[in-house]
């Protein structure tokens, strides 16, 4: 267990918040410099409740790699959480008949790199226990304010009894989630330009999509995929998607995410109303849930959930991570990715650099990273009733993520400041290409008539499959990773041209993998 240490009030780092972002940052900092004195000020008391502690139960490649390989939770994830069978899009076209056709895009087996459906309470309790007595933990307390005095920050903390004390730290990192202590203090909040909202609830039961979405069509490759329910399943329709995420064998998270210009939060702002909304838009899922009669464990909602900070790192010794730094969108489950990316740059700032210019540059790198995620999600839901759009948008987004962002992070190059400096022009070029594709796809009816896509799209054997398999390089030298990124840029330029110009993306989707495998580049 961690312990509260009243005798030592001077720390190298004071972290506001003992959630996933704060706990993983503490672990990463101690791995980088075991001699650091770290204090975590947490507004609750451990242990956390399991199953319903926090929303955000799904990880993708960067976040899973961060938890497994950077902060050392691999065994815990493998033994105490569910392995995820990727992201699965299903379009039911609003039909309720059990035999009615539907469309599906997903995997028939697990991806090359393990990702997980996680119980946030269980994971955070594990991280708390792993830290042991290596940090000072102050529970049931709130950071009121802090002031810079010389090269240190003097932090005022109030406990639940109202007692106020002061601690000193070289760095203060805000990991308070939507408490956003520093964002409020320095007036950093800015509009992300995304007008989406959500409601969600957890039920005590296993929602198995094989029980209500299992077409007997002989062209359906998913028919006998028993663990298909372990996917993050997204039921898509005009202006919305509904997530179905298993937390464990007995608990499922369900959420409705939507564009405010098409759907209204007031029509689903309580559980009975949300079920009525599902009955209208996703009647097959609604009928299944009604038939099961699962106990509802909780219900929550959030209007206009997207926001960003105008700054993430300061040479005055403060930083923001997790939802204290911003939240873009739950669409691709990138929340833990953003924690890993921000925590890595913060660890760099605290353990490798005291230079004001360097920290300003690192802040710019994080700003560029967040902007790339925003570009992906801005104005993205309106055409979710267009199967061609779902096919092209999700395939491009995922392939771009694997070939660029995952290569940088999962080959441990994002933490190498000198390397990021040397290839920064390339990084900018990747984001510029992605932006061009996003601008094109935001236009109405962009891809509607370009392709004839089958109702069942198996990602195995596709360019996404290739991109996922080739993330980790055999040779992780600077020169080899730069060569790999240049090679991947060539792939993405060809894919972009097949969307923007030649309209041959459907051909490239499978054929490009065959061609790339035949070329057998050695990276």
Exposure letters 274-305 (e unless 16+ CB within 10 A, then b): beebbeebbbbbbbbbeebebebbeeebbeeb
Angle subtended at Cα 461 by Cα 460 and Cα 462, rounded to the nearest 5 degrees: 95
DSSP 46-110: SSPPSSSS-S--B--HHHHHIIIIISS-HHHHHHHSEEP--EEEEE-TT---TT---EEEE-SS-
pLDDT single digits (tens) 453-486: 999 999 999 999 999 999 999 999 999 999 999 9
* CATH architecture label of 85-109+198-300: 2-Layer Sandwich (3.30)
| Residue 397 neighbours by CB under 8 Å, 6+ apart | 332, 376
Residues forming CATH 3.30.9 domain(s) in the chain:
85-109+198-300
Which CATH class for the 1-51+119-194+306-378 domain?
alpha beta
| Residue numbers in the chain where pLDDT is lower than 70 | 1-7, 53, 354
CA distance 238 to 280: 13
Rounded to whole angstroms, how far apart are CA atoms 62 and 78? Answer: 16
> What is the full DSSP assignment across 440-494?
HHHSTTSSTTT----SEEE-TTSHHHHHHHTSS-S--SHHHHHHHHHHHHHHHHH
Angle at 492 between CA 521 and CA 236, to 5 degrees: 125
pTM (predicted TM-score): 0.97
d(C-alpha 95, C-alpha 77), whole Å: 37
Q: What is the pLDDT of residues 179-220, one digit of tens each?
A: 999 999 999 999 999 999 999 999 999 999 999 999 999 999
Range(s) within the chain of domains with CATH label 3.50.50.60: 1-51+119-194+306-378
Report pLDDT for 55. 78
Handedness of CA 489, 494, 495, 501 (dihedral sign): positive
Decide: 71 and 28 in contact? Cβ < 8 Å: yes
Query: Within its chain, how far is the Cα of 450 from the centroid?
Result: 30
Q: How far apart are CA 299 and CA 322, in angstroms?
A: 22
Predicted pLDDT at 1: 36
């Amino acid at each position: 267990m961690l312990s509260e240490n009243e005798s030592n009030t001077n720390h190298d780092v004071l972290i506001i918040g003992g959630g996933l972002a704060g706990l993983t940052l503490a672990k990463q900092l101690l791995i980088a410099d075991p001699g650091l004195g770290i204090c975590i000020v947490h507004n609750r008391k451990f242990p956390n409740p399991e199953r319903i502690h926090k929303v955000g139960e799904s990880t993708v490649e960067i976040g899973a790699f961060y938890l497994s390989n950077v902060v050392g939770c691999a065994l815990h994830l493998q033994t105490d959480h569910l392995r995820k069978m990727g992201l699965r899009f299903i379009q039911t076209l609003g039909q309720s008949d059990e035999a009615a056709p539907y469309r599906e895009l997903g995997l028939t087996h697990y991806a090359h790199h393990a990702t997980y459906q996680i119980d946030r309470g269980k994971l955070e309790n594990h991280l708390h226990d792993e830290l042991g007595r290596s940090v000072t933990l102050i529970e049931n307390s709130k950071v009121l304010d802090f002031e810079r005095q010389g090269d240190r920050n003097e932090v005022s903390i109030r406990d639940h009894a109202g007692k106020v004390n002061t601690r000193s730290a070289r760095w203060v990192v805000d990991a308070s989630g939507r408490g956003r202590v520093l964002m409020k203090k320095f007036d950093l909040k800015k509009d992300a330009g995304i007008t989406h909202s959500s409601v969600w609830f957890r039920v005590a039961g296993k929602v198995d999509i094989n029980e209500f979405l299992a077409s007997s069509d002989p062209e359906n490759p998913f028919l006998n995929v028993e663990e298909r329910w372990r996917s993050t399943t997204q039921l898509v329709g005009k202006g919305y998607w509904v997530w179905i995420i298993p937390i464990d064998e007995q608990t499922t998270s369900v959420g409705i995410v939507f564009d405010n210009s098409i759907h209204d939060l007031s029509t689903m702002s309580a559980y009975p109303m949300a079920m009525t909304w599902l009955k209208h838009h996703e009647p097959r899922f609604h009928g299944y849930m009604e038939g099961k009669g699962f106990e509802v464990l909780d219900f929550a909602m959030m209007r206009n959930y997207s926001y960003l900070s105008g700054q993430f790192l300061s040479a005055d010794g403060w930083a923001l991570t997790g939802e204290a730094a911003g939240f873009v969108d739950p669409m691709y489950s990138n929340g833990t990715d953003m924690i890993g990316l921000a925590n890595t740059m913060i660890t760099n700032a605290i353990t490798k650099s005291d230079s004001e210019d360097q920290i300003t540059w690192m802040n710019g790198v994080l700003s560029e990273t967040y902007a790339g995620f925003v570009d992906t999600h801005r104005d993205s839901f309106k055409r979710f009733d267009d199967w061609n759009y779902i096919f092209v948008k999700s395939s491009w987004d995922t392939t771009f993520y694997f070939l660029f962002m995952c290569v940088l992070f999962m080959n441990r190059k994002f933490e190498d400041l000198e390397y990021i400096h040397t290839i920064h022009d390339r990084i900018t070029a990747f984001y510029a290409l992605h932006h061009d594709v996003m601008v094109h796809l935001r236009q109405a009816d962009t891809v509607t008539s370009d392709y004839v896509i089958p109702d069942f799209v198996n990602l195995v054997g596709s360019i996404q499959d290739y991109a996922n398999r080739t993330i980790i390089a055999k040779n992780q030298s600077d020169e080899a990773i730069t060569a790999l990124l240049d090679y991947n840029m060539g792939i993405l330029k060809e894919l972009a041209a097949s969307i923007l110009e030649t309209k041959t993306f459907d051909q490239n989707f499978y054929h490009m993998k065959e061609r790339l495998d035949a070329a057998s580049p050695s990276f």
